[in-house]
Amino acid sequence: MNYPVWQLDFFGGGLLIAAIAVFHVYISHFAVGGGLFLVLAERKAHREGNPAIMEYVRRHARFFLLVTMVAGGITGVGIWFTIALLNPAATSVLIHTFVFAWAAEWVFFVIEIVALFLYYYTFGRLSRKHHLLIGWIYFGAAWMSLFIINGIIDFMLTPGSWPQDQNFWSGFFNPTFWPALAFRSFFALLIAGLFGFVTATWSKDARLRLTMTRYAALWLLLPFALFIASGYWYMTALPAELRELVFQRMPMISYYLNGFLLLSPVLVLGGLLLAIRMPASITRPMAVLMLVIGLIYMGCFEFIREGGRRPYIISNYMYSNSIFTRDLEQINQEGVLSRAKWSRHKTITPDNRLAAGRELYNILCLSCHAVDGPMHNIRPLTANFTPSGLDAMLSGMATIHPTMPPYAGTAQERFALATYLAYGLHGNQDPAKTTPIQAKEVELPPFDQEQDDYVLLAWSTTGMHSLSDGFDFWALQPPASTIRAQLIRRGETPELVSEEVNLLYRLEPAFLDPAARSSFWENAQSLFAASPADNIGLSGSPLQGMMSPEEGSFTAEQLPILPYPDGGGFDPYPMVTIEARDPAGRVLATTRVAAPVSTEMGCYQCHGGQWRVDKRAGLSAETAANVLAIHDRLSQTELLAAAEQGAPRSCRSCHPARLDSDGGDGQLLSLSASIHGFHAHFLRERGAGACGLCHPSSPDGASQSFRGVHDAIGLDCTSCHGQLEDHALGLLKAEALEGKARAAALAKGLAPQTVENPDEIVARQPWVNQPDCLNCHQEFEQPETDTSFNQWTAAEDQLYRNRSDESSALFCQACHAAAHGEYPAANDYGQLVHNLQPLQYQGNTLPLGSELNCALCHTVAMEDEMHHPNMLREFRNQ
Among the four given CATH numbers 2.30.30, 1.20.1630, 3.30.70, 3.40.50, the one describing domain 14-318: 1.20.1630
Q: Which CATH class is domain 325-426?
A: mainly alpha
Under 8 Å between Cβ of 428 and 387: yes
Distance CA 603, CA 651 (A): 15
Q: What are phi and psi of 545, to 5 degrees?
A: 175, -155
DSSP 8-state secondary structure symbol assigned to residue 421: I
pLDDT tens per residue across span 523-561 = 999 999 999 999 999 999 999 999 999 989 999 999 999
Distance CA 475, CA 468 (A): 6
CATH code for the domain defined by 454-597: 2.60.40
Q: Please report which helix (H) or strand (E) contains residue 46, including its range.
A: helix 14-48
For residue 678, the Cα-to-chain-centroid distance in whole angstroms is 7
Distance CA 67, CA 450 (A): 106
Per domain, the residue ranges of the chain are: 14-318, 325-426, 454-597
Distance CA 461, CA 595 (A): 9
Candidates 453, 460, 373; CA nearest to 708 is 460
Candidates 515, 522, 411, 546; CA nearest to 471 is 522
Candidates 679, 677, 684, 672; CA nearest to 694 is 679
Under 8 Å between Cβ of 29 and 68: no
Candidates 604, 585, 600, 524; CA nearest to 558 is 524
State which residues of the chain have pLDDT below 50. Answer: none
By CB neighbour count within 10 A (0-12 exposed, 13-18 middle, 19+ buried), where does 696 fall?
buried
Predicted local distance difference test score (pLDDT) of residue 530 = 95
Predicted local distance difference test score (pLDDT) of residue 599 = 97
Candidates 756, 762, 771; CA nearest to 732 is 762
Predicted local distance difference test score (pLDDT) of residue 659 = 60
Distance CA 193, CA 138 (A): 18
Under 8 Å between Cβ of 781 and 870: yes
What is the model's pTM? 0.84
DSSP string, 753-811: SSSSSGGGSPP--TTTS-B-HHHHSGGGPPPS-S--TT-B-SSGGGSGGG-B-TTT--B
Q: How far apart are the first and last CA of the chain?
A: 56
Distance CA 857, CA 878 (A): 22
